[in-house]
Structure 1
Amino acid sequence: MKALLHKGGALPCSLFLALCASPALADVRPDSGDYAALPPGTDLALLYQQNPRIDRSYMGGKRAADNLDLDLTVGVLRLVHFTEFFNTGLIWDPQIIIPYGHQEIGATGQKNSGLGDITFGATVWSLADMERNRHLGWSLFVTAPTGADKNQGFALSGNRWAADFQVGYVHGFNERWTWDVIAETEFYQEQRDTGAHRDPLIQLHNHLRYNFTPATSVALSYRHNWGSRETLDGQTLETSHNNGTVGLSATTMLGKQWQVMGQYWRDVDVRSGPMTDHSLQFRLAYIY
């Protein structure tokens, strides 16, 4: 497909909204340590703050839009409960994820605020060796199209149902080093207002974590995703992804019940979709 935006040109409105509403913009992806099971009876309340900044978007490896000036401020509430999985002796963690945010697109002057698409689901651990820090978890998350401004290109709402399957493994080499790897596949319903079809998205997450102490760690992360081509009536709205992202995070406990995490993320290779120049993220967790 030919480049859709040239100097002095204009990006078709439908495609511009599709670029800005990419599900890669604002969501809660598995962080380092997320696939380590906690004892049954543990509850978590997590607050996320995400601030991605996006100026460019790509299609088929070519720049499709410049100077988008898309600024997102996203808050996410995540509630998690660890318990026994139906008297099997296994651990699982039913949970709900509720995003809320404000979006401003400088290129058009459009502003949106409101509730995003709510996600609910759980992980079941077939391996939870807390002594050696080795865990294997299997997850299913379902996202409902509950977000505000569904038809206005709001990045927190895809206006479609989605099912996300994940398998994550945590391997503790010793007291200092841990490697987390998570494979993920997400399937999408056709978009409810337009009927646009999106192919499944495949993602691979890697986190190499170094523990200075049992309470404080840093992690170097790399994420890559493929697929998620979107079409409407034979026209390509978004080509298949082949995108890579790097991140650096630091985590520490504040007492016995509070944990804080700070992260920096940057896209390093984008074949399709918006490119995040930089994103600062923070997470506050209360353990009870």
Structure 2
Amino acid sequence: MKTLSTLTLSALFASLAPLAQADVKPDPGDYTALPQGTDVVVLYQQNPRGDKVYSGGKKVADNLGLDLTVGVLRLIHFTEFFNTGLTWDPQIVIPFGYQKTGATDSKNSGLGDITFGGTVWTIADLAKNEHLGWSVFVTAPTGSEKNQGFALSDNRWALDFQVGYIKGLTDKITWDVIAETEFYDEQRSTDAKKDPLLQLHNHLRYNFTPDTYAAISYRHNWGARETLDHETLATSRSNGTIGFTVATMLGKQVQVLGQLMHDTSVREGVKIDNSLQFRLAYFY
């Protein structure tokens, strides 16, 4: 078994930070523009697990023992965008959780970095199942356990731009594609710098009924090299993830969703062997 050196630990803690934005990764159907006046309360539970750590495409540890239990509260309101006739959804995302790292025998828990922002739709056609939305999210360094390797607390500001498109290919098959770019401020306590992160999300959904679907997803990200005083903490990413999702409505106001994600390739960071997510959404 490989052990974790001090240098490896520094790279590891830098690599954990992108998990802090896991809560705003778009799930299948998230870029659907709902009628103005709709409010949604969403509660997530996520359970990422991972042992292997990679840096520059090489495995630097295989006994990390990362065990995360993450809860996320997301509050969304659909309304008119400043008298333009367009729909937008101002929202706030509040993560919280518990983290255990077996290799370092460390435990962290508390509030994560809060994200706020929203999406403006320039195409919002429920009848034709076609939507085009443009999003801006800001993540604030509000998390607890700062600089202690807590995955939900990166201790820096982040600005996230997304554009998402949904198209009904047939009555049963829907394709979601989302492109994303995230920019980072310097880490507040160390002044570590991080390059922008690029991500592409693809979801292919099969709609068994208007209320129930299954989806296959593939996500890939690039960039986010992190440096401190010209020394590399984390090399650029080129990481891929595949997932499977099932969701259904329970009545007219409650949706339940289950999801399993697995990293297929990791150039930099922790390889997540499996991540279970359960989501409960209440519409009113």
Q: Same fold (TM over 0.5)?
A: yes
- What letter corresponds to residue 174 of structure 2 in structure 1? T
- Show the counterpart of 1:61: 57
2: CA distance between counterparts of 1:235 and 1:9? 19
Q: Check conservation: 2:165, 2:178, Cα contact below 8 A.
A: yes
| 1:279 counterpart = 2:272 | no
1: CA distance between counterparts of 2:3 and 2:228? 26
- Show the counterpart of 2:247: 251
Query: 1:9/1:89 Cα in 2 relative to 1: closer, same or farther (>3 Å)?
Result: closer
2: CA distance between counterparts of 1:55 and 1:275? 7
Query: Normalised by the size of structure 1, how large is the TM-score?
Result: 0.95
Any stretches of 5+ residues in structure 1 without a counterpart? 1-5
Q: Check conservation: 1:61, 1:271, Cα contact below 8 A.
A: yes
- Show the counterpart of 1:10: 5
Cα displacement (A) at 1:64: 1.6
| 1:205 counterpart = 2:228 | no
Any stretches of 5+ residues in structure 2 without a counterpart? none
| 1:125 counterpart = 2:115 | no
Q: How does 1:69-88 map to 2 (within 5 A)?
A: 69-88=65-84
2: CA distance between counterparts of 1:157 and 1:196? 15
| 1:98 counterpart = 2:94 | yes
1: CA distance between counterparts of 2:226 and 2:170? 44
1: CA distance between counterparts of 2:270 and 2:20? 8
| 1:157 counterpart = 2:127 | no
Q: Check conservation: 2:20, 2:112, Cα contact below 8 A.
A: no
1:153-173 CA distance string (max 9 Å, x none): 110011000000000000012
Query: 1:8/1:98 Cα in 2 relative to 1: closer, same or farther (>3 Å)?
Result: closer
2: CA distance between counterparts of 1:112 and 1:284? 25
Percentage of identical aligned residues = 68
- Show the counterpart of 1:3: none
Q: Secondary structure at the match of 1:21?
A: helix
Cα displacement (A) at 1:8: 5.2
The count of corresponding residues between Structure 1 and Structure 2 is 283
Cα displacement (A) at 1:32: 0.5
2: CA distance between counterparts of 1:90 and 1:65? 49
Q: Find runs of 4+ consecutive structure 1 residues off by over 4 angstroms.
A: none
- Show the counterpart of 1:267: 263
Please tell me the root mean square deviation across aligned C-alpha atoms, in Å.
1.3
Query: Normalised by the size of structure 2, how large is the TM-score?
Result: 0.97
| 1:111 counterpart = 2:111 | no
Query: 1:45/1:241 Cα in 2 relative to 1: closer, same or farther (>3 Å)?
Result: same
Query: 1:34/1:8 Cα in 2 relative to 1: closer, same or farther (>3 Å)?
Result: closer
